[in-house]
Amino acid sequence: MLREEEERELDRQFGSIETWEDFLTRWKAIDTEQEAIGLLYSGARIPISPEYPARFEEIEIRVRFYLQWSNHENQEIANTAKQVIVKHLFARVHLWYGQVETHKLLIEFLQKRDEALLRPPYPRFISQYLLPLFNVCRDGTGPDYTSGREYKVMHEFIKPVARALLIWGLGYKLAEHGTVECIEVIEEFLRERKHEIGHNLMNISGYGEPIADLSGLGQEEEINKRAALALLKLRYWVGEGVHEKLARPKHA
């Protein structure tokens, strides 16, 4: 008898949540943490309209929903909402001015680090969103680039996007081109953290070990790099290109 009951259980059919409206109906009906977490994951997979502008409107609605629940007092539910945003919703937002409102929401979301997003795989998804977004803010997109609509709309976000890059350990991107707007963003960021810029300049050259084997593959490039770093340091230091205190950190 028990075996027959088990077999009947395995005959059960399970449907899927096909629309966002259906998702919201189910969301309002649940009352346990476990159900909420499961539905949050499921909501990220619900199909989105392929048509414009409905597609972008639907994405914005969903981003707003997850952002709302990312602030819930239940930490498990809040963390799940944050992780779904990063792992699933970032990929649904296109680098196009038509989704500017959604980008505003996500850029604001990334203005501070959260413990729930510091471990893999979340930093990778954040970088995959921010790095190309910064490219659009800085250069626009082809074929029009800085004369195109994307640049004219998205360029206003270059500073908060630059700050988000700094917050999430992607500050190297800001030195890729001579982007003047980024200088004051970096200066403010480092002032807030009371970080001595000169320590980094002192570390780029002047210390190290002789190369033991000059015959190896790639050693010519290492020789060139050492010379270039020495020149850059001397240009900044002796040429008065910087004003920070050039003192080597005690721990180095």
H or E stretch at 165: helix 158-167
Residue 233 CB partners (closer than 8 Å, separation 6+): 201, 202, 204, 205, 206
- Identify the pLDDT of residue 1: 54
- Identify the pLDDT of residue 191: 95
Rounded CA-CA distance 154/100 in Å is 7
- Given a cut of 70, is residue 7 above it in pLDDT? no
- Given a cut of 80, is residue 243 above it in pLDDT? no
Count of other CB atoms within 10 angstroms of residue 142: 8
- Identify the pLDDT of residue 90: 97
Residue type at 84 in one-letter notation: V
Average predicted confidence (pLDDT) for the chain:
91
Place of tokens 């963003």: 185
- Identify the pLDDT of residue 200: 87
Per-residue pLDDT of 75-128, as tens digits, reads 999 999 999 999 999 999 998 888 999 999 999 999 999 999 999 999 999 999
- Identify the pLDDT of residue 217: 81
- Identify the pLDDT of residue 244: 58
- pTM recorded for the entire structure: 0.88
- Identify the pLDDT of residue 15: 85
Buried b (16+ CB within 10 A) or exposed e, 10-43: eeeeeeebeebeebeeebeeeeeeeebbebbeeb
Give burial (CB, 10 Å; 0-12/13-18/19+) of 177. Answer: exposed
Helix then strand count (H, E) for the chain reads 12, 0
Q: Is the peptide bond before 47 cis (omega within 30 degrees of 0)?
A: no
Percent of the chain with pLDDT over 70: 92
Instruction: For residues 1-18, give the mean pLDDT.
Output: 74
CA 85 to each of CA 64, 121, 138, 190: distance values in angstroms, whole numbers, following the listed order: 10, 13, 24, 28
- Identify the pLDDT of residue 34: 98
Instruction: For residues 229-240, give the mean pLDDT.
Output: 83
Say if residues 84 and 40 touch (Cβ distance below 8 Å). yes
Residue whose C-alpha is closest to residue 200's, from 164, 245, 170: 245
Instruction: For residues 176-187, give the mean pLDDT.
Output: 94
Phi, psi (deg, nearest 5) at residue 110: -90, 10
Instruction: For residues 53-69, give the mean pLDDT.
Output: 96
Instruction: For residues 154-167, give the mean pLDDT.
Output: 97
User: 47 falls in which pLDDT band (50, 70, 90)?
Assistant: very high
Per-residue pLDDT of 191-205, as tens digits, reads 999 998 888 888 889
Residue 79: HSE in the Cβ half-sphere, 13 Å Cα cutoff? 12
CA–chain centroid gap for 21, Å, is 29
Per-residue pLDDT of 143-159, as tens digits, reads 999 999 999 999 999 99
Count of other CB atoms within 10 angstroms of residue 111: 10
- Identify the pLDDT of residue 199: 84
Count of other CB atoms within 10 angstroms of residue 93: 18
